[in-house]
Amino acid sequence: MANFFHLTGQGGAPQLREFTDEEGLNYTLKSMRSMGWSEEKINNVLSIIAGILHLGQVKFESKMSEGGQEIAQLADDKTVADAAKLLGVDLQKLITALTVRIMVTRGEEIKIDLAPDKAVDARDSLAKTIYGALFLWVVKEVNNSIMWENDSDIRSSAGVLDIFGFESFAVNSFEQVSCMLYLTSWFELELLFA
C-alpha cells in the first residue's frame, strides 16, 4: 500500500522484516490510547495523515494562460477535494495554495499562476509543512501526557532516543556502532548526574 502513495513510495517502500503496516498501526493506536488520547483526537491525527497522503496524490496538467504562459491546472478535482476534506481546510483556499503564488507589495496583493513544476513544488512543500507541524504537535501532546504534576517529585529522568531504521539493516556499519556507543555513554552520564 505504501508504494501506491507518492509521498511514501518514492524510496521504494521497503518491507521491514517481521513488521507489517497493520501491526504498526495497531501498536500506534494502542500507544495513543495508553497516553489517554480521546478517539476524536486519534481520528483527527489519522485524518490529517490521510490528508497529507492524498495531497501528495494531487497531479497537475499544463494549460496556456491568456498571456501565453504555461500554468498549472488540477488534473483531478476529486483528489484535491478528498485532501481538503481530510485536512479540514477550505477547498478553494487549498487549490489557490497549490496553483497560485501570492505576493504582497506595498499593501497590494499580486497573484501569479504557477507553472506545473512549481505547483508540484508547492504541493510537496505544503505537505512537508503540515507533516512537520503535526509531528511537533504530537511530540508536545506526548510530553503533556507524561508530565509530572509537581516538578519537585522528579528524582531522576531518562531520555529516549530511537534512531529509526537501525534495526532494519542486515549488516550494521561502523558509523552506526560508533553512534550507538556515543549515545549509550551520553545516556549513562545523564543517568549518573540526574
Task: Confirm if 114 and 95 have CB atoms less than 8 A apart.
Answer: no
Which grid coordinates belong to 142? 506526548
| Within-domain flag for 151 | no
- Asked if residue 185 and residue 161 are part of one domain, the reply reads yes
| Within-domain flag for 152 | no
Q: What is the spatial distance between Cα 155 and Cα 57, in angstroms, rounded to a whole number?
A: 49
- Asked if residue 81 and residue 30 are part of one domain, the reply reads yes
Condensed to tens digits (0 to 9), the pLDDT of residues 3-47 reads: 778 887 776 655 666 667 788 888 888 988 888 889 999 999 999
DSSP state letter for 14: P
- Asked if residue 161 and residue 133 are part of one domain, the reply reads no
Phi/psi for 78 (5° steps) reads: -65, -40
Which grid coordinates belong to 154? 522528579
- Asked if residue 91 and residue 180 are part of one domain, the reply reads no
Write down the pLDDT at residue 93. Answer: 95
Domain count, the chain: 2
DSSP state letter for 57: T
Write down the pLDDT at residue 184. Answer: 45
Write the CATH number for 136.
1.20.120.720
Q: What is the spatial distance between Cα 144 and Cα 146, in angstroms, rounded to a whole number?
A: 6
- Asked if residue 166 and residue 88 are part of one domain, the reply reads no
Task: Confirm if 73 and 98 have CB atoms less than 8 A apart.
Answer: no
- In order, the DSSP letters of 116-135 are HHHHHHHHHHHHHHHHHHHH
Q: What is the spatial distance between Cα 36 and Cα 142, in angstroms, rounded to a whole number?
A: 10
Which grid coordinates belong to 157? 529522568
Going by C-alpha positions, the residue among 54, 58, 60 that lies closest to residue 73 is 60
Q: What is the spatial distance between Cα 143 and Cα 157, in angstroms, rounded to a whole number?
A: 13
- Asked if residue 185 and residue 117 are part of one domain, the reply reads no
Question: Which uninterrupted H or E stretch holds 30?
Answer: helix 21-34
Write down the pLDDT at residue 73. Answer: 92
State which residues form the domain around 31: 2-146
Which residue ranges in the chain fall short of pLDDT 70?
1-2, 11-19, 147-149, 151-194
